[in-house]
Amino acid sequence: MSEPAEYWFARRFPLGQMRSGMAPVHWKGWAVVAAFVAALAAGGLLWAWFAARGDNGRGVFAFALMSAGAALGFIRTANKKGDHVHCVADYRKGKLSV
């Protein structure tokens, strides 16, 4: 028998609504969010480093590359480790456990 799935993210809104955003419900989900923010900050610092040396074009490219990679990784993880049926309110009410 397979183990129950461990969800890191859940829907922000119930199934009846059209919006399908995901929010973290597990500490691993919050770690993914923190890694995403850290990657954006690192990209900004890299951009500033290149701009300080007079090469703003490379800085913009480096930031765009890092932010696109971080966004794709975040979206993929939220989709793969997300509960697409239950919402965050269900987890907060204690109906479901992580």
Q: Are 29 and 14 in contact (CB under 8 A)?
A: no
pLDDT at residue 1 is higher than 60: no
Mean pLDDT over each residue of the chain, to the nearest integer: 89
pTM for the full predicted model: 0.83
Q: Are 23 and 88 in contact (CB under 8 A)?
A: yes
How far is the CA of 74 from the CAs of 8, 33, 44, 50, 90, in angstroms? 12, 7, 18, 26, 23
Give every strand in the sheet of 22-24, ordered side by side. 22-24, 9-11, 82-87
Condensed to tens digits (0 to 9), the pLDDT of residues 72-97 reads 999 999 999 998 888 888 888 877 76
Condensed to tens digits (0 to 9), the pLDDT of residues 51-64 reads 999 999 999 999 99
pLDDT at residue 33 is higher than 80: yes
- DSSP strand pairing (82-87 vs 9-11): parallel
pLDDT at residue 2 is higher than 70: no
